[in-house]
């Protein structure tokens, strides 16, 4: 089953006074690229989160946003009396030196660095947070996976439809190929007959049937596309098989698409026929459409 590289999953939970939210977004990328947004105190969780993401996402750009909000209590904050006293002592010294008359307001000191200590910032460690964060992350990844699978099913259906259209156009080329040689033979004979009729029978150059056969043979060999048709049919068969595999097949599908382009271009350059050229253009359009879609397949 195909997996899209584009998706979104989120999950929320409330555990022991902490509200945990995880948001995961993925977009297509040739390789795996991970980034995380979280508060500074939670950056220690990044290796664990990346490891969990890698278990479900093989390729693409992954952006994880982690938000943890804790309900504050009266025990979460503490005044550092030593720092507060130091600030006040220094300010009183400056006040006496400058002979200021306005008294120092205590609330103005609370905003100074180090006066109020947030104890909750040091309580939550990696070991204590990960058991709470992991299930929320797993749920977000499951929601992401569900969205990627749904989009993958739609992409697979479209790819199968385009593959079938390519096979039909290739079938028409295969039917047309023998007629191209026959048409060239007929055209050669018409030209030869017209040329012979205009010659002076007394002293002009001669042209034997063997010359015509040799010319037609050269054209047949030069315009033979049977090998390219066989290879392109093989690629289409492998393509259909890859669409049903369980593991990620984006890279293999991309390689097959490149091979299809190569065979189609060769057919177009070798087959000297308007009808075949028209089918080649149709196939190249379909294959290009498939290529663009495969860029988003994991």
Q: What percent of the chain has pLDDT over 90?
A: 50
pLDDT of residue 187: 65
Find the mean pLDDT for residues 273-295. 93
pLDDT digits 0-9 by tens, 167-221: 999 999 998 887 766 665 666 555 655 655 555 454 555 555 665 566 555 555 5
pLDDT of residue 93: 82
CA angle centred on 146, ends 145 and 148, rounded to 5°? 60
Coil/strand/helix, residue 74? coil
pLDDT of residue 202: 47
pLDDT of residue 291: 95
Which residue spans within 71-139 are E strands per DSSP? Answer: 77-79, 116-118
- Report how far apart, in Å, the C-alpha atoms of 35 and of each of 3, 64, 66, 276 are: 21, 6, 11, 49
pTM: 0.69
Find the mean pLDDT for residues 115-142. 77
Q: What is the C-alpha to C-alpha distance for residues 284 and 277, in angstroms, rounded to an integer? A: 10
pLDDT of 122 > 50? The answer is no
pLDDT band at 279 (very low <50, low <70, confident <90, very high): very high
CA angle centred on 117, ends 91 and 88, rounded to 5°? 10
pLDDT of residue 39: 81
pLDDT band at 274 (very low <50, low <70, confident <90, very high): confident
pLDDT digits 0-9 by tens, 19-57: 999 999 999 999 999 999 998 778 889 999 999 999 999
| Contact between residue 161 and residue 49 where contact means Cβ atoms under 8 Å apart | no
Find the mean pLDDT for residues 133-149. 96
Q: What is the C-alpha to C-alpha distance for residues 124 and 71, in angstroms, rounded to an integer? A: 13
């Amino acid at each position: 089953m195909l997996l899209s590289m584009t998706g979104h999953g989120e999950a929320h939970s409330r555990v022991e006074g902490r509200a945990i939210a995880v948001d995961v977004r993925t977009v297509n990328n040739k390789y795996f690229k991970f980034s995380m947004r979280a508060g500074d105190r939670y950056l220690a969780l990044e290796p664990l989160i990346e490891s969990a993401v890698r278990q479900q996402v093989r390729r693409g750009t992954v952006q994880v946003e982690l938000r943890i909000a804790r309900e504050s209590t009266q025990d979460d904050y503490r005044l550092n009396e030593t720092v507060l006293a130091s600030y006040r002592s220094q300010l009183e010294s400056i006040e006496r030196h400058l002979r200021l008359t306005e008294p120092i307001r205590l609330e103005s000191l609370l905003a100074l660095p180090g006066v109020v200590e947030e104890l909750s910032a040091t309580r939550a460690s990696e070991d204590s947070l990960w058991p709470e964060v992991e299930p929320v992350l797993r749920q977000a990844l499951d929601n992401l996976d569900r969205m990627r699978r749904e989009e993958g099913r739609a992409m697979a259906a479209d790819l199968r439809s385009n593959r079938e259209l390519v096979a039909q156009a290739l079938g028409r080329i295969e039917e047309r190929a023998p007629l191209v040689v026959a048409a060239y033979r007929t055209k050669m004979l018409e030209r030869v007959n017209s040329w012979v009729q205009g010659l002076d029978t007394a002293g002009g150059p001669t042209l034997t049937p063997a010359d015509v056969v040799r010319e037609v043979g050269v054209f047949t060999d030069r315009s033979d596309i049977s090998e390219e048709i066989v290879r392109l049919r093989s690629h289409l068969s492998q393509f259909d098989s890859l669409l049903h595999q369980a593991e990620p097949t984006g890279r293999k599908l991309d390689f097959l698409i490149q091979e299809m382009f190569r065979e189609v271009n060769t057919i177009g350059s070798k087959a000297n026929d308007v009808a075949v050229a028209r089918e080649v253009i149709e196939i190249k359009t379909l294959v290009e459409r498939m290529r663009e879609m495969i860029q988003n397949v994991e």
